[in-house]
């Protein structure tokens, strides 16, 4: 099949969180299964230098003139000579709109909307420009959500040359891109798309994610449990539970995989020593080195070191951890915490780390190499998320030998097996309360003192396989089913083998 993925992130070039890893992992796995995979990503100001170093150059051909309402924006494609098989990346270079960072806060909602509109138009025009008959146009998350919407509107108006199937993958339903109706009308979308019960109308506003849920030929999210949670009610559905439920069998959960070519402790150059499940000795070196690197001198060699890597936002359950940190540090446990986000959370972590410098280390920022050393040098990995569409941190922690402690929600429930079960590889708790997290930590401490029991748990975790190839096969099936349904409904859908 000819498959076009559209995303705001793509690892390693443009990464804020798991979206980047997930889209890159899926693209690679689909390409390895023989598909012609192309990916559209904005050339943000913050990444253009890195992109140039990586060999991206302006593509030939006439400049792109993209229109958002009455405003024309000049844009161009950046490409690199194709060195290997695998996905081909096209960077949309529109400096007036994509200057700055991946999620530019200064520009506010109007900029986010213009970015979404430009990305969708450019992506939908790319196949024609390449003379490449696309079968599947696959949008990821709200930033790309105008892709299925515009495809539906444009296809109905016979503007798109090819009758491609459109797909939406929801990586996080909490980010929907909600804008005033008149801001969307100004993009030139027909009034019917904005009027109740139109594609985009949402309680008197316009909701890009909702539009894509309605317009896409098929929709999925990134774990079976999160799919169930999001249709069950507003707590996880964030107001879109009805729209999702209305899609019936055309909405499903497909678990993300982990890209073990990148996340492999045997060949990870960020680690001070290589190791694997079969040759674990190097891991002890990583544990000691991490303590030294972060100045965790008060953590006795025999005590647990707990790691955390993630965006510091309410979703990640940092509020459950904060009230426990001081007491646990005084008990002799150590903490290696890496993240950035909410300023108040950053400040509280900073204060705790300042008060207990030998036991609590907090590094503010984004640091991929340190993240890898935390996965490889911690004994436990904390992921007490309030909700988690899939979560990749726990998968990486398992492979790198840090037993995850997770809340039973979304993809965490689908990937971590509690130590109480025969094939357990981590610790799972239910209630979103600090005492529930503390009880799980105490269970971990108890098992930690049983060295052979801990080693067996760790071995099981390191040998778990979250295989992108299996997930890509599920996506293939979803594409094919959507194409068959599209043909039956007279909406095109021609899928090459």
Footprint on this chain of ligand ADP (rule: CB under 6 A): 17-19, 21, 309-311, 338-340, 366-368, 371, 390-393
Choice between 366 and 448, CB closer to ligand ADP: 366
Burial 169-188 (b: 16+ CB within 10 A, else e): bbbbbebbbbbebeebebbe
Greatest Cα pair distance in the chain: 69
Per-position DSSP letters for 116-135, written without gaps between them: HHHHHHHHHHHHHHHT---S
Q: Closest separation between CB of residue 285 and ligand ADP, Å? A: 21
Q: Given the complex with ligand ADP, which of 96 and 368 has the nearer CB atom?
A: 368
Q: Residue 58: count other Cβ atoms within 10 Å of its Cβ.
A: 12
Q: How far is the CB of 72 from ligand ADP (least distance, A)?
A: 34
Give Cα separations from 403 to 273, 291, 416, 484, 492 (angstroms).
Answer: 19, 17, 9, 43, 48
Q: Which is nearer to ligand ADP, 166 or 230 (CB)?
A: 230
Task: Return phi, psi of residue 132, to 5°.
Answer: -120, 105
Q: How far is the CB of 388 from ligand ADP (least distance, A)?
A: 7
Are the C-beta atoms of 161 and 93 separated by less than 8 Å?
Answer: no
Nearest distance from residue 404's CB to ligand ADP, in Å?
11
- Which CB atom, from 368 or from 435, has the smaller least distance to ligand ADP? 368
CB 487 within 8 A of CB 493: yes
CB nearer ligand ADP, residue 155 or residue 400:
400
Give residues with Cβ within 8 angstroms of 387, minimum separation 6: 174, 226, 229, 236, 315, 409, 410
* Identity of the residue, 330 or 368, whose beta carbon is nearer to ligand ADP in the bound complex: 368
Q: Classify 30 as helix, strand or coil.
A: helix
Task: Report, in Å, the least distance between residue 263 CB and ligand ADP.
Answer: 8
CA distances (Å), origin 428, targets 263, 315, 421: 23, 17, 11
Nearest distance from residue 128's CB to ligand ADP, in Å? 33
Strand partners, 90: 40
Comparing CB distances to ligand ADP, the nearer of 18 and 461 is 18
- Minimum gap (Å) between residue 101 Cβ and ligand ADP: 14
């Amino acid at each position: 099949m000819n498959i076009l993925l559209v995303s705001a992130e793509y690892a390693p070039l443009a990464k804020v969180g798991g979206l980047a890893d997930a889209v890159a992992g899926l693209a690679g796995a689909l390409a390895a299964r023989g598909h012609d995979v192309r990916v559209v990503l904005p050339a943000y100001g913050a990444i253009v230098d890195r992109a140039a170093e990586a060999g991206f150059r302006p593509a030939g051909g006439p400049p792109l003139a993209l229109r958002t309402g009455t405003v024309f924006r000049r844009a161009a494609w950046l490409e690199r000579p194709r060195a290997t098989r695998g996905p081909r990346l096209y960077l949309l270079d529109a400096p007036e709109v994509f200057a700055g960072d991946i999620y530019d806060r200064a520009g506010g909602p109007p900029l986010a909307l213009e970015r979404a509109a430009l990305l969708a138009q450019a992506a939908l025009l790319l196949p024609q420009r390449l003379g490449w008959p696309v079968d599947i146009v696959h949008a990821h998350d709200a930033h790309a959500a105008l892709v299925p919407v515009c495809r539906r509107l444009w296809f109905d108006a016979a503007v798109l040359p090819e009758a491609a199937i459109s797909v939406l993958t929801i990586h996080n339903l909490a980010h929907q891109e909600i804008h005033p109706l008149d801001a969307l009308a100004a993009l030139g979308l027909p009034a019917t798309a904005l009027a109740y019960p139109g594609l985009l109308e949402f309680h008197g506003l316009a909701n890009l994610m909702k539009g894509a849920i309605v317009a896409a030929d098929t929709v999925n999210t990134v774990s079976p449990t999160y799919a169930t949670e999001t249709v069950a009610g507003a707590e996880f559905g964030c107001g879109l539970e009805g729209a999702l439920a209305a899609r019936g069998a055309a909405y499903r959960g497909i678990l993300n995989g982990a890209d073990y070519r990148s996340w492999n402790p045997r060949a990870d150059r960020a680690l001070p020593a290589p190791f694997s499940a079969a040759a674990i000795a190097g891991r002890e070196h990583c544990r000691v080195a991490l303590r030294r690197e972060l100045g965790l001198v008060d953590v006795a060699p025999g005590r647990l070191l707990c790691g955390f890597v993630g965006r510091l936002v309410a979703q990640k359950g940092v509020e459950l951890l904060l009230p426990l940190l001081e007491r646990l540090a005084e008990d002799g446990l150590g903490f290696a915490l890496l993240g950035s986000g909410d300023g108040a959370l950053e400040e509280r972590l900073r204060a705790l780390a300042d008060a207990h410098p030998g036991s609590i280390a907090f590094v503010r920022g984004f640091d991929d190499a340190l993240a890898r050393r935390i996965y490889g040098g911690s004994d436990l990995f904390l992921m007490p998320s309030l909700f988690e569409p899939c979560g990749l941190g726990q998968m990486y922690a398992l492979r790198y030998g840090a037993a995850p402690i997770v809340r039973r929600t979304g993809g965490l429930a689908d990937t971590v097996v509690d130590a109480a079960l025969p094939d357990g590889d981590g610790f799972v708790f239910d209630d979103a309360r600090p005492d529930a997290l503390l009880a799980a930590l105490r269970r971990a401490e108890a098992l930690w003192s049983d060295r052979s029991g801990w080693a067996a748990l760790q071995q099981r975790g390191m040998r778990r396989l979250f295989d992108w190839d299996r997930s890509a096969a599920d996506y293939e099936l979803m594409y094919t089913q959507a194409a068959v349904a599209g043909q039956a409904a007279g909406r095109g859908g021609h899928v090459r083998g």
